[in-house]
Structures are given as structure tokens and as C-alpha cells.
Amino acid sequence: MKFWITAFFIVSLVLLSYCSHAQSSQTDDGFDVFIFAIALAFFSVVLGATLAGCMLATLFLAAVFLLVSAGVLSVGVLVGFYRRSVAAGFRTVVMICCIGGGICCGAVAFWLINRIFDIHLQPLTAMLTGAFSGLVGGLLLGFIVFNIIRLFLNYCRKKLAF
């Protein structure tokens, strides 16, 4: 985005400097300020349409994120009702969040490792390998986080008991 704005201003400055350096003894060579104004307006419309498209894509991704988040919470509530345990529902939410984060982080990390160290894997293979390792790591992280939270709550319950 910054690149396009910078390029737009550089082109504008070059055209303005060309227009200001015209000598009085030579002809104008057909340069028309009106055509420059039309080109400037065209590039402004293109920039505005690009910004509007970016805004729509961001809103769409935010809506998808909210729907997925609501799905994770509703699955946690449903598991809690099914097993008749708040801990089971909370454990489900923690597991799903840790596994999802592990998959995303693992895929990106292994793709970057493939690019930096030149392992010669296809990008899709690198991302799938990272996603699988992130799945396993997220599963382990979910168990660890849930147990740490459970131990912390038990400690707090003992300290607050009279």
C-alpha cells in the first residue's frame, strides 16, 4: 500500500517537474495539463477502489473469524451439557483453541524454515508438515494449559476456603 502511494507521488512529481522545465523557445511537445489532471483523477479512483476492496476483504475475514469463534464457544457449551461438566466444556474450548493456534503457527513456521534454510520441499508439503506438527504440539499444549489452570484454580480454592 505504501509502495503504491509512494510510486503515485513520484510519478506526479516527475510529470510536474517535466512540465515546469519547459523552455520558452521550444514548443510544448503536446503535453497537456488537462490530460495530466485526467490521469491524476484516474489513479486516485484506482487507489480509492483498492482501499475499498481491502476494507471489504477485511470485514469479510473479521466476520468469518467471529463465526468460527462463536462455533468454538458453542461446541464447548454443547460438550459441557452433554457430559454434564463445566470442566469438560472448558477443556474442549482450550483444546480447540490450542490446536487451531498450533496448526497455524506450525504451518507458517515450517514454511519459513523451508524458505530460510532451503530444504527443497514444495511449499504445500512444508505447510502440511508444519500443520501436522503444530496439531500435535497444540494438543500437548492444550493438555498442559488445562492442567495448569486446574491446579491454579484448586490452589486458589484452598486459599480462599475458611
pLDDT for the residue 24:
47
79 pLDDT tier (thresholds 50, 70, 90): very high
19 pLDDT tier (thresholds 50, 70, 90): low
pLDDT for the residue 119:
87
- Extents of the domains making up the chain: 1-12+32-84, 85-162
**CB burial class (10 A; 0-12, 13-18, 19+) of residue 116?**
exposed
pLDDT for the residue 54:
95
Candidates 35, 34, 36; CA nearest to 15 is 36
DSSP state for residue 26 in the 8-state scheme: S
Candidates 75, 70, 105, 81; CA nearest to 93 is 75
CA distance 62 to 97: 17
Candidates 157, 152, 105; CA nearest to 133 is 105
C-beta of residue 120 within 8 angstroms of C-beta of residue 128: no
Angle formed by the axes of helices 33-83 and 2-20, nearest 10°: 170
pLDDT in tens, 89-128: 999 999 999 999 999 999 999 999 999 998 889 989 999 9
For range 124-145, the mean pLDDT: 94
14 has a pLDDT exceeding 80: no
